[in-house]
Structure 1
Amino acid sequence: MTTSTLPAPSLAKEIALLAVLATLWGASYTFIKIGVETIPPVTFIAARTLIAGGLLLAIIKLRGLSLPREPAIWKRFLVQACINSVVPFTLIAWAELTVNAGLATILNSTTPIFAFLLTVLITRHEAVTARKLFGVVAGVIGISLIIGLEAFHGVGKEALAQLAIVAATISYAAAAIFGRGFKGLDPMMPAAGSLLCGAVLLIPVSVVVDQPWTIAPSANSILALLGLSIFSTAIAFVIYFRLIHTLGSVSTTSQAYLRVPIGVGIGVVFLGETLNPTAWIGLICVIAGVAAMTLPTRRRAAATSG
């Protein structure tokens, strides 16, 4: 039996990339909150997918590569676009018109739970162990301690918007599992292909619904759009597709638990915010949860290849 497919140095690199991904995606909620102040959600997300997909396509060309031509692969890109960008991006952007970025982060941090449940109930493509279950529970406890239980008092208000974020979270979990089917492709290929498919789907909707030529976005919204597109989408998606194959889908979604403590850390360093003692305990729980969900997933990579 194969017990590990990643040597220790490689594992350390993948976990470092997991932290980078959490940081990039953790920043996305603030970018979205600022962006949708003056840019309607559908148009904002259409521009996000177009800019990010176009940037990745340009990088692919500069590398002397080209996107796959097989229709079957592009069908998979289209499905990935729907469940990993079009649906969840739009739902979260719409929800953040009324839901604050912090609560959106909390609700969206449950992605690993849904990935775990989908794995248990449907796909069974990764070993489901007590350690992973512990990781799920520890992550939820950690998030609760970091944010403070009082933050959940807002749950129930603006229920439709909050349910939209939960639906987006389930979509992300399904996308992490579906994304395993791109094994063997350069991580940039599914990232660029799915984002370009998303742009093709969203731009016509934007034209009909928002008439974007009538919009007068603020400078802050434009900067937020660029930051979201370049860093939290284009770069993040390349890392994401790599990690799905090196750490597995459940472990990759565990970065959701890192988004909040990273955001808290940024607030402490740059904004002078303070943490209460329970928040530090929460950080320990989060780190334990991510470690528990990451370490055991290496076993099946060899068994599921080919």
Structure 2
Amino acid sequence: MNSLDENGNAMAGMANMANQPVLLLALSALWGASYAFIKVGVETIPPVTLIAARTLIAGAILVAVLRLRGLGLPADRRIWERFALQACLNSVVPFTLIAWAEQTTDAGLATILNSTSPIFAFLLTAALTRHEAVTGRKLFGVAAGLIGTCLIVGVEALGGFGHEMGAQLAIVAATLCYAGAAIFSKSFRGLDPMIPAAGSLVSGAMVLVPASLIVDRPWTLAPSATSVLALLALSVFSTAVAFVIYFRLVQTLGSVGTTAQAYLRVPIGVAIGVLFLGETLSSTAWAGLACVVVGVVAMTMPARKLG
């Protein structure tokens, strides 16, 4: 029986390892698309209301799916306190900051600034939490991914740096929140990934909906159909689905490895432009894509076990 259990565990582990690259790509695509959805959404929906609706819709979807699966959210107050902290780090603060910043910040520069979450996750892990191994390979991956991101987006994207310093600092603050969220997410080990995803979104909505009612008086707004569609896509795909994938990856891939999706968003966005918009890649962009791939592999490759 023990050998059968060990074989079953080994097969499950191999299946998880095989699924990780696919899930990481899916998360990168879903969160990479969120910037476009936000850009369209804030054209006629104020940032606080957009993000309040995003968390409310996504949270409601996940709660409904949990009930269909015969599961429910826990009643333990201490877990809800953790959900609330996770919501602040992963949705309430960063979602709002990015939505506000995207009203004035160029997409290229925003991509560079927001792709630095692996760096913050690595530094926080090395300096404070030490909850997973800090290796030279991961440090190399962090550096290679950042260099690749800059090469893909292009040095000219840095031309606007400093012109909208407040918005740019807001994106950096959001990125730091994402790094902290990836580390704190490890505390939900053992829970079905959909439970912390739903719990944190519900907690976020409890903060953001009252703020929206006070700040924006949403009943007075007249959003365009395009903005509403962008909001729905943002809520369903880039939030509800993405959060479930995110919490699963944090448990199986680790905090630093999961933040590697911040780098992958850039080549995915470029690929969309090449395939659907007829854009072309420069030689530096191809070099940057190679750096990103190398960096992500370095950060996500499982450590070899001796013996």
1:97 aligns with 2:97: no
Structure 1 residue 298, shift from structure 2 partner:
8.2
1:158 aligns with 2:164: yes
Which of 195, 219, 233 is matched with 1:189 structurally?
A: 195
Structure 1 residue 297, shift from structure 2 partner:
5.8
Which of 28, 31, 47 is matched with 2:37 structurally?
A: 31
Which of 135, 144, 149 is matched with 1:138 structurally?
A: 144
Aligned mates of 1:37, 1:223 — CA distance in 2: 12
1:107 aligns with 2:113: yes
Question: Where does 1:44-83 land on structure 2 (aligned, <5 Å)?
Answer: 44-83=50-89
Which residue number in structure 1 is paired with residue 7 of structure 2? none
Aligned mates of 1:76, 1:144 — CA distance in 2: 35
Normalization by structure 2: what TM-score?
0.94
Which residue number in structure 1 is paired with residue 294 of structure 2? 288
Normalization by structure 1: what TM-score?
0.94
Structure 1 residue 64, shift from structure 2 partner:
1.1
Question: Where does 1:1-306 land on structure 2 (aligned, <5 Å)?
Answer: 7-296=13-302
Structure 1 residue 144, shift from structure 2 partner:
1.1
Post-superposition Cα deviations, 1:48-86, rounded to whole Å, max 9, x if no partner, equal 000000000010011111111111111100100111100
In structure 1, list runs of 5 or more residues that go unmatched.
300-306
Post-superposition Cα deviations, 1:156-197, rounded to whole Å, max 9, x if no partner, equal 110000000000000000000000000000000000000000
Structure 1 residue 106, shift from structure 2 partner:
1.7
Aligned mates of 1:98, 1:150 — CA distance in 2: 17
Q: Secondary structure at the match of 2:163?
A: strand
CA-based RMSD of the aligned residues comes to 1.4
Query: Is the 2:42–2:99 contact (alpha carbons within 8 Å) kept by the matching residues of 1?
Result: yes
Query: Is the 1:29–1:104 contact (alpha carbons within 8 Å) kept by the matching residues of 2?
Result: no
Post-superposition Cα deviations, 1:77-104, rounded to whole Å, max 9, x if no partner, equal 0100111100000000000111123322
Count residues with an aligned counterpart: 296
In structure 2, list runs of 5 or more residues that go unmatched.
1-9
Which residue number in structure 2 is paired with residue 304 of structure 1? none
Structure 1 residues 215, 72: closer, same or farther in 2, change over 3 A?
same
Q: Secondary structure at the match of 2:301?
A: helix
Aligned mates of 1:249, 1:40 — CA distance in 2: 32
Aligned mates of 2:114, 2:244 — CA distance in 1: 20
Aligned mates of 1:158, 1:277 — CA distance in 2: 29
Structure 1 residue 284, shift from structure 2 partner:
0.8
Aligned mates of 1:7, 1:51 — CA distance in 2: 33
